[in-house]
Amino acid sequence: MAGTRTERVIAVEEHFVTDRYWSETQNLAVPRDEEPEHAFMANVQRNGYIHPRFTNVEKRLEDMDAAGIDLSVLSLTPPGV
């Protein structure tokens, strides 16, 4: 069939976070070597383009469909558990 592909595209090393997780962890002490990561994630929370790609499942699925991704392996983003 035209347009049918047999291989699947799987995205790995993908991260997610919930707004509740961010609110619960934002005031935790940050180890010295993790300060850059903490600063990056604070910026992600304020970024209107990136933030929904971490927290909104429907937006994530739209982006996956647009990119031709069939499956995504998600991991909770830092500050980690």
Query: Contact 71/14 with Cβ under 8 angstroms?
Result: no
Question: Is the previous residue joined to 52 through a cis bond, with omega within 30 degrees of 0?
Answer: no
Grouped pLDDT means (10 residues each) for the chain, 81 residues: 77 88 83 82 87 90 94 81 56
18: amino acid identity, one letter: T
Q: Is 71 exposed, middle or buried (0-12, 13-18, 19+ CB in 10 A)?
A: exposed
Q: What pLDDT, on a 0 to 100 scale, did the predictor assign at position 79?
A: 65
